[in-house]
Structure 1
Amino acid sequence: MPGGQLEREEKISVELTEEVLQCMDVGLIFRDYNCKISSLDFHRTANYLVTASDDESIRLYDVGNATMLKTINSKKYGVDLVCFTPHPTTVIYSSKNGWDESLRLLSLHDNKYLRYFKGHHDRVVSLSLCSRKEWFISGSLDRTVLLWDQRTEKCQGLLRVQGRPAVAYDDQGLVFAIAFEGGYVRMFDARRYEKGPFDIFSVGGDKSETHVVKFSNDGRLMLLTTVDGYIHVLDSFNGTLLSSFKVAPVTGGGTLEASFSPDGMFVISGSGNGSVHAWSVRTGKEVASWTSIESDPPVIKWASGALMFATGSTELSFWTPDLSKLSSMLGTK
């Protein structure tokens, strides 16, 4: 796919439609990675993106200026998952070294650890930060979900789960979800989690291992991905299964990722064969797809409030609408 300059979409008033999605293309590529990108995250308010990769590095990008600001190495601990805190140059990340499963609060500004969060005894496979408070949750292969406050090193709560857990806060920070093998999602009141789930949803026939659970920005929907290549979209209030999308299953230990568009009307996802897909939540149909020379599922996330998403494999790609292609498409109708 061609590289180029990143379009400044905030200056262009374009509504996200199926036609716009079909015209999404790679606007900029960073190819200087030596290993696979394991995680990426957009900051909610600042124009920043952060990545973690298997070369044990964390990289910070200025999205608006299409530049990499800095690289920080984590050779001692490794790095797997990374998430922004509300502060645009502070992140929480998980280790990937097999001997220390602590989470770390890191200042990217001066490369200093601000806090260590110790409690897990196996790899952390899911991490979600509450956007409204200092809380975050982590799910591990040690079959626990731990609840944390960024201001203290000790975990604030522990929940035991079955198999590999996927965790997510809703946008308001009032509810969090834990999904796990068997197609089940437990819903918790963040203020009364110790009382157990207030509801349990089931996606039905898909009993495979869960990879990711996420809420839409308005909190009305959630998506769930599984190793068998399914992306399920549910009503987050009553658990009704609204649609299921199917891609190539995941093999070799990869993770199937998906992300809601900012308006919650579309889902973008990776695939077990490296391709990228876009789906309509309203109709349940695939509206666009893009092939890839990669064979592993990419990490993928939509930017908050922008006509842009990013994918990460052995390179980092920013996707924006090709306006000339869109004009040509609309001109033929």
Structure 2
Amino acid sequence: MKITDSVLRSFRVARTYRENAQKINCVDFSPNGEHAISSSDDDCIVLYDIREGKPERTMFSKKYGVDLIHYTHGDAQTVVYSSNKLDDTIRYMSLTDNKFIRYFPGHTARVIALSMSPVDDTFISGSLDETIRIWDLRAPNCQGLTNPLGKPVCSFDPDGLIFAAGVESQAIKLYDLRAFDKGPFASFDTRFNRVCDWTGLKFSNDGKQILISTNGGVIRVLNAFNGSVLHTFSGYNNSKGISLEACFTPDSQFVMIGSEDGRVHVWSTESGMKVAVLDGKHPGPINTLQFNPRYMTFASACTNMTFWLPCTDDT
């Protein structure tokens, strides 16, 4: 099924789960789309079976807390996540036996961005210590470090050759992974009219666009090659300055974000028009939202985890 305006408008809540006592801070789908995982401020890691449509099991990270959880490249059995309690070490964990495989120490302040390479075992992390570190899952030591001159959110492009850093909520810097020590090969300033912090940065799957999430009720889509502003989207509720995570649909044609009032807003990246507002019946702000990379479903989360399906004549 192709993702279209009408298909997006047809999405309805399929299932809602109340496994968590506090807000879910991150959701990720496995590369094959058959599982999802969430991290929460109550130190829980919940694994969901997408085909069965139910929670599979819950694990805990009570000592370190858990945030920014991501599946590793091509593997639905291992994850990497940052800590939000005791220290700023990143942890690599096996889901099959709930044991740590490796630790990645080095950051001296909270990790605010974590991005897995789409092609190999590399990943990058951005921290309030104003560094971006490059890691390899097979080695505990940092493989590289760059100082972007400010607080960075960062992400890989879909080819895993370039990463982008959004620095101090005012500039995008592009780095070649193979020559990152030479500094960025391109830099674009893009200041927002309203005062807000950039809280996330993502490439579209076609590599042509960059999406900036903020805590200020506005998101922006940029041309990934020259930094020009393609769209600025607003009109969703975020009066309390919450970090609301936006995402692209897998075909790069739409951008989605949750809101403070539990609704999901969807815009076309081609026309710039809003195409849908979906009511998820969330009791709190939708902090995080992700579209499944393989199947026609997406997840939105506050303290509850909600999975959505299109309601068409064929279903």
Fold-level similarity (TM above 0.5)? yes
AA aligned to 1:229 is G
- Distance (whole Å) between structure 2 residues aligned to residue 205 and residue 71 of structure 1: 40
**Do the aligned residues in 2 keep the contact of 1:300 with 1:311 (CA within 8 Å)?**
yes
**Do the aligned residues in 2 keep the contact of 1:187 with 1:199 (CA within 8 Å)?**
yes
TM-score (norm 1): 0.89
Superposition CA RMSD, Å: 1.8
AA aligned to 2:310 is P
Paired residues for 1:236-275 under 5 Å = 236-246=224-234, 247-249=236-238, 251=240, 254-275=242-263
Please give the per-residue CA displacement for 1:92-125, whole angstroms capped at 9, x wherever unaligned. Answer: 011111x311000000101111000001111111
- Distance (whole Å) between structure 2 residues aligned to residue 132 and residue 124 of structure 1: 22
Deviation at 1:271, TM superposition (A): 2.5
AA aligned to 1:102 is T
AA aligned to 1:320 is L
Matched, 1:94 2:82: yes
- Distance (whole Å) between structure 1 residues aligned to residue 154 and residue 179 of structure 2: 16
SS of the residue 2:181 aligns to: helix
**Do the aligned residues in 1 keep the contact of 2:286 with 2:300 (CA within 8 Å)?**
no
Deviation at 1:90, TM superposition (A): 0.2
Please give the per-residue CA displacement for 1:20-53, whole angstroms capped at 9, x wherever unaligned. Answer: 1111111111122211101010112251111001
- 2:72: which partner in 1? 85
- 1:331: which partner in 2? none
Aligned CA distance change for structure 1 residues 221 and 198 (closer, same or farther; 3 Å) = same
- Distance (whole Å) between structure 2 residues aligned to residue 250 and residue 163 of structure 1: 26
Structure 2 unaligned spans of 5+: none
- Distance (whole Å) between structure 1 residues aligned to residue 231 and residue 37 of structure 2: 31
AA aligned to 1:321 is P
Aligned CA distance change for structure 1 residues 102 and 242 (closer, same or farther; 3 Å) = same
Aligned CA distance change for structure 1 residues 275 and 90 (closer, same or farther; 3 Å) = same
- 1:276 is aligned, of 264, 269, 274, to 264
Count of residues paired in the alignment: 311
- Distance (whole Å) between structure 1 residues aligned to residue 251 and residue 139 of structure 2: 34
**Do the aligned residues in 1 keep the contact of 2:284 with 2:303 (CA within 8 Å)?**
no
Deviates more, 1:109-118 or 1:284-293: 284-293
Matched, 1:212 2:224: no
Deviation at 1:293, TM superposition (A): 4.6
Structure 1 unaligned spans of 5+: 1-13, 328-333
- Distance (whole Å) between structure 2 residues aligned to residue 285 and residue 46 of structure 1: 28
- Distance (whole Å) between structure 1 residues aligned to residue 36 and residue 215 of structure 2: 26
- 2:49: which partner in 1? 62
Matched, 1:308 2:297: yes
**Do the aligned residues in 2 keep the contact of 1:46 with 1:88 (CA within 8 Å)?**
no
SS of the residue 1:192 aligns to: helix
**Do the aligned residues in 1 keep the contact of 2:33 with 2:294 (CA within 8 Å)?**
no
Deviates more, 1:14-23 or 1:108-117: 14-23
**Do the aligned residues in 2 keep the contact of 1:227 with 1:250 (CA within 8 Å)?**
no
Matched, 1:187 2:187: no
Please give the per-residue CA displacement for 1:180-233, whole angstroms capped at 9, x wherever unaligned. Answer: 234311011111111111111222444631111001111111111122222111
SS of the residue 1:191 aligns to: helix
SS of the residue 1:68 aligns to: strand
TM-score (norm 2): 0.93
Deviation at 1:273, TM superposition (A): 4.0
Q: Which has the higher strand share?
A: 2
Matched, 1:18 2:10: no
Please give the per-residue CA displacement for 1:255-278, whole angstroms capped at 9, x wherever unaligned. Answer: 121111111000111224443110
